[in-house]
Amino acid sequence: MTDPANLQKTALFAAHQKLGARLVDFGGWNMPVQYAGILEEHKAVREAAGVFDISHMGEFFCDSHFGKSFLNQLLTNDVEKLSVGQGQYTLMLNEQGGVIDDLIIYRLPKDQYFLVVNASKIDEDRAWMEKKTPTGVSFSDQSGAYSAVALQGPKALEIARAFLGAGWTEPKRNEITSYSWNCQEILAARTGYTGEDGIELFFKNEIAENFFFALLEAGKPFGLKPCGLGARDTLRLEACLPLNGNDLSDKRTPLEAGLGIFVSLTKEANFPGKDVLLRQKTEGPQEKLVAFRLKDKGPPPRPHYLLFQGAAQVGEATSGAPSPTLGYGIGLAYVRTDCAAPGTELDLEVRGTRVPVEVVKKPFYKRAG
Amino acid sequence: MSNIPEQLRYAVSHEWIKVEGAVGTVGITDHAQHELSDVVYVDLPKVGAQAAAGSTIAVIESVKAASDIYSPVSGEVVEVNGDLVKKPELVNKDPYNAAWLFRIKLSNPSEIDALKDAAGYKALIGE
């Protein structure tokens, strides 16, 4: 267990302490796992709004003039499709087609691409990209300079409008706009990791604490609550959004993970792992990432719990938790393809006992409208 | 400041026991439920199960993790609290009364002497 003194802190660390957050070591970062409580925070995001500190995530910038073709040869989705102000979910693979990281790439005005990567992969992503950057392309890791928050929930947009004011151009789903708040540039993207509508806001560290508290104040009348990483995990799991390190890894391809729509095998650009995926698409993957639920009340699934069909072990869970919205245990698991169809009944082994579960269609939760 | 009833005895692993004659009622402390945060599932022993003092007897699951619960004394489980199946959140709401976990017939009553009293438990948790 790392000495808290050796953990990295975001620019909102003092704010979390002031708010009475329970802080934990999250991949080397000292982050809030909860404030009022995970169930209460989860409910706030589903019914009103929550704001998460996501400052630990990474922010890379790449010039787009020559950068476009470099990025299109690095990432699975088709960068050519992005017009100015648009973003797309995409993946960076190794030569075996395994996932190094999943990320969102946005095309900004003024000839720039903006990549938001997982906190745990900043150094690895940068090293991989630096090795491949051709001369003439400038790419920089600005993670240390940027903070970010995710404002998510049915009231998120109302709060953003009230807080940012009349001058703000509201982005449409997956779009990104730039805004000036107290003379500081804010990037606002209509993206998120909870299954609710919302905005992810990126800004320089210097304004982070002021921005965060001002946002909390503006959101109070709407029921806005600060939310930690505990609720972030239960929310994203209900929406079947994968977590790199659990559901995604360098040993699994995006096709096994069910993320084929974010992989362009038809684009001309060649990216690492493309040949592996082309073969796998023809043959079909041997295992697939499925969503499963407990059939009755019972212990929640957890990562690494094994799945059985009769006496045969057919899979292993990669994520699991109680679902606060649905009231039963849910999880994601890689299982043998012949056991992956929704409706398949399997057994989950929990502390030596077999508990009946069922494969279900994704997602577990989908917001109305 | 957590609630630490005077008449109970406490294990260093944060279980309490109320001894009435040869039978003890066991649960977890207010401090423990606060540390766990939202309890979502309780895995209780079977009636008739034999327990050794300090051995794992139950599991309490919070949103993020499963925590082992240890029997403070040796003996035979004679009753378990079925209310916790439908309402695991009682552990957070009422750890000393409605959320008792199990009752155990003590096979070695002198084991109680090794447990802490309220003042001792208060000191243990640094309050």
Mean pLDDT of A169-197: 95
Residue A261 lies in a domain: no
Residue A206 has a CB neighbour count (10 Å cut-off) of: 12
Residue A262 lies in a domain: no
* Cβ–Cβ below 8 Å for B63 and A351: no
Spatial CB neighbours of A312, under 8 Å, sequence gap ≥ 6: none
* Cβ–Cβ below 8 Å for A322 and B59: no
Alpha-carbon gap: B86 to the closest alpha carbon of chain A (Å): 8
Q: What is the pLDDT of residue A109?
A: 84
Does residue A160 sit in the same domain as residue A15?
yes
Q: Which of B33, B38, B60 to mutate to test the interface with A (most CBs of A within 10 A)?
A: B38
pLDDT band at residue B1 using 50, 70 and 90 as cut-offs: confident
Does residue A82 sit in the same domain as residue A43?
no
CATH code (residue A355): 2.40.30.110
* Cβ–Cβ below 8 Å for B40 and A300: yes
Does residue A137 sit in the same domain as residue A155?
no
Does residue A182 sit in the same domain as residue A292?
no
Q: What is the pLDDT of residue A2?
A: 62
C-beta separation of A150 from A59 below 8 A:
no
Does residue A152 sit in the same domain as residue A132?
no
What's the number of CA atoms in the CB half-sphere (13 Å) around residue A272? 19
Residue A267 lies in a domain: no
Residue A4 predicted with pLDDT over 80: no
Residue A39 predicted with pLDDT over 70: yes
Which of A37, A297, A351 faces B38 most closely, judged by CB atoms?
Answer: A37
Last-in-domain residue among A221, A238, A255: A238
C-beta separation of B60 from B7 below 8 A:
no
**In the numeric block, which tokens belong to residue A92?**
């960076």
Does residue A175 sit in the same domain as residue A231?
yes
Does residue A351 sit in the same domain as residue A212?
no
Q: What is the pLDDT of residue A17?
A: 98
ipTM of the complex: 0.93
Does residue A150 sit in the same domain as residue A231?
yes
Chain A neighbors of B66, CB-CB under 8 A: 299, 302, 351
Overall pTM surpassing 0.90 (yes/no): yes
What radius of gyration, in Å, describes the C-alpha atoms of chain B? 13
B34 interfacial to chain A (CB closer than 8 Å): no
Does residue A149 sit in the same domain as residue A232?
yes
Last-in-domain residue among A220, A238, A256: A238
Does residue A26 sit in the same domain as residue A171?
yes
Residue A215 lies in a domain: yes
pLDDT band at residue A248 using 50, 70 and 90 as cut-offs: very high
Q: Kind of pairing, strands A329-336 and A198-204? A: unpaired
B35 interfacial to chain A (CB closer than 8 Å): no
Which of B37, B63, B85 faces A234 most closely, judged by CB atoms?
Answer: B63
What's the number of CA atoms in the CB half-sphere (13 Å) around residue A32? 29
pLDDT band at residue A167 using 50, 70 and 90 as cut-offs: confident
Q: What is the pLDDT of residue A50?
A: 98
Q: Which residue has the tokens 């009103």?
A: A48
What radius of gyration, in Å, describes the C-alpha atoms of chain A? 21
Does residue A42 sit in the same domain as residue A66?
no
Residue A278 lies in a domain: no
* Cβ–Cβ below 8 Å for A298 and B41: yes
Chain B neighbors of A37, CB-CB under 8 A: 37-38
Chain B neighbors of A321, CB-CB under 8 A: 63-64
Q: Provide, rounded to the nearest whole percent, the portion of chain A with pLDDT above 90.
A: 92
Domains of chain B: 9-108 (2.40.50.100)
Q: What order do you get walking across the sheet with B50-51 strand by strand?
A: B9-10, B15-20, B23-28, B102-106, B75-80, B50-51
How far is the C-alpha of B30 from the C-alpha of B34, rounded, in Å?
Answer: 6
B63 interfacial to chain A (CB closer than 8 Å): yes
pLDDT band at residue A1 using 50, 70 and 90 as cut-offs: low
Mean pLDDT of A72-91: 97
Residue A368 predicted with pLDDT over 90: no
Residue A272 lies in a domain: no
Closest chain B residue to A302, measured at CA: B65
Q: Tell me the residue type at A299.
A: P
CATH code (residue A49): 3.30.1360.120
* Cβ–Cβ below 8 Å for B37 and A351: no
pLDDT, one tens digit per residue, over A82-116 is 999 999 999 999 999 999 999 999 999 888 999 99
How many domains are contained in chain A?
3
Q: What is the pLDDT of residue A106?
A: 98
* Cβ–Cβ below 8 Å for A321 and B43: no
Mean pLDDT of A180-194: 95
Give residue A50's domain range. 4-54+145-238
Does residue A106 sit in the same domain as residue A132?
yes
Q: Provide, rounded to the nearest whole percent, the portion of chain A with pLDDT above 70.
A: 99
* Cβ–Cβ below 8 Å for A299 and B66: yes
Q: What is the pLDDT of residue A94?
A: 98
Residue A64 lies in a domain: yes
Mean pLDDT of A241-253: 98
Chain A neighbors of B59, CB-CB under 8 A: 299, 351
Residue A104 lies in a domain: yes
* Cβ–Cβ below 8 Å for B63 and A22: no
Chain B neighbors of A233, CB-CB under 8 A: 64
* Cβ–Cβ below 8 Å for B63 and A298: no
pLDDT, one tens digit per residue, over A108-155 is 988 899 999 999 999 999 999 999 999 889 899 999 999 999 999 999
pLDDT, one tens digit per residue, over B74-114 is 999 999 999 999 999 999 999 999 999 999 999 999 999 99
pLDDT, one tens digit per residue, over A266-325 is 999 999 999 999 999 999 999 999 999 999 889 999 999 999 999 999 999 999 999 999
Last-in-domain residue among A104, A125, A141: A141
Residue A166 predicted with pLDDT over 90: no
Q: Tell me the residue type at B101.
A: L
Q: What is the pLDDT of residue A23?
A: 97
Quick one: residue A327, left, alpha or beta (phi over 0 = left, psi -120 to 50 = alpha)?
Answer: left
* Cβ–Cβ below 8 Å for A300 and B64: no
